[in-house]
Amino acid sequence: MPNAGDPGPSPRGDEQADAAAPMPRARGDYLPVLLLPGLAAAALAIMTWQGVPFSTWVTLTIAALAMGMMIFVIASGLTLVFGLMDVLNFAHGAFIAVGAYLAMTTLIPLAGWVEANSLSLNLLALGLAMLVAMLGSGALGLAFERIIIMPVYGQHLKQILITTGGLIVAEQLIHVVWGGDQKPMPLPTALRGAVIVGNIALEKFRLLAVAIGLIIFFAMLVLLNRSKLGLLIRAGVENGEMVEALGYRIRRLFALVFVAGSALAGLGGTLWALYRETLTASIGSEVIVLVFIVIIIGGLGSVGGCFLGALLVAQMANYTGYLAPKVAIASNILLMVAILMWRPQGLYPVAKR
């Protein structure tokens, strides 16, 4: 029973407490973004000092942008899966490979459109191939999540073991279905070659890859920041248990994000195979190490961090590949070490409970 002399609620008293209490809104944290132009400028400085032509630097930078976008497309799904579901999916490489192979298969009957010297027909063919790749990888992802991942939720060691096993099985199945030889993945006619600006050659396919990567990035930002689904994902990355206690089926959300991540891996694999114009079953394993470096640099669960990390890793690979090829392989590990020493949780860590 309420006691007689209890004071009622006091709004003015609350404001007194608040006058002293709140912190000012944090300024946007843009320092990590400066790494991008910083790295580019450093590379330009070194190249100029070594007498390398400016056009070479531009070519490498565009290549880095294109490669970065492709890695971002592949890595973005993985970072959300790890951030949201706390699942280590080493089989992400399988979705990359399966997507690429499905795209290749789709392009075979469309050879006429691919070889035609018409940009619209070429894009139509590629569009169809990418769609099939995404649907196929997405479907594989759904089956994978239900059958292989669900039994091992919360058990990291088992996840690593079983998903690595899944990757090996997937690669061998690709050998069975498509054969183990290296397949050609020719670029469509209108996308071959380069656009010449001054004395700089901008490869057409790389420009397309950059465009696609930017579209995906902005679409993800819009989805995450302007939709209720995005709200659920961002909240779930922080505290999935509380999201469930608010009445939402967190497991369904997990499955959705996993499928989307797998589909994006399939799209990224398609772009990667076209970029290199060849395709083998190990395409997944080749890319996956870079992908893990990217999501660790970016901060697990952060799409913005993943975008930045992908561009930085691609820059590193391209610049050191030209300037110091012997260091190139180690350069990305060194980049990761340097960034983790600065920010141990990645560039844009997502606040966890």
Query: Which residues bind to other proteins, rule: CB under 8 A?
Result: 1-3, 6-11, 13-18, 21-26, 228, 231-232, 234-235, 238-239, 241-250, 350-351, 353
Minimum separation from the CB atom of position 228 to other proteins (A): 7
Closer residue to other proteins, CB minimum distance, 10 or 48 = 10
Nearer to other proteins among residue 86 and residue 115 (C-beta): 86
Single-letter code of the amino acid located at 256: L
CB of 225 to other proteins, least distance (A): 9
**Number of residues assigned to the chain:** 353
Q: Which is nearer to other proteins, 228 or 326 (CB)?
A: 228
Whichever of 7 and 184 has its CB closer to other proteins, that residue is 7
Quote the least distance from Cβ 77 to other proteins, whole Å.
19
The DSSP H or E segment spanning 35 is: helix 35-49
3-state SS record for 235-277: HHHHHHHHHHHCCCCHHHHHHHHHHHHHHHHHHHHHHHHHHHC
- Measured CA to CA, the distance from residue 81 to residue 351 in angstroms comes to 16
Q: Going by C-beta distance under 8 Å and a sequence separation of 6 or more, which residues neighbour residue 95?
A: 137, 140, 141, 261, 262, 263, 265, 266, 269, 284
Token pair 């939402």: residue: 248
CB of 235 to other proteins, least distance (A): 4
Query: Are the beta carbons of 289 and 167 closer than 8 angstroms?
Result: no
In the complex, least distance from residue 254 CB atom to other proteins, rounded to whole angstroms: 13
- In sign, the C-alpha dihedral spanning 67, 71, 74, 80 is negative
Beta carbon nearer to other proteins, 25 or 326: 25
Q: Please give the Cα distance from 244 to 237 (Å, whole number).
A: 12
Taking the complex as a whole, the smallest distance from the CB of residue 22 to other proteins amounts, in Å, to 6
In the complex with other proteins, the residue whose CB is nearer, 341 or 351, is 351
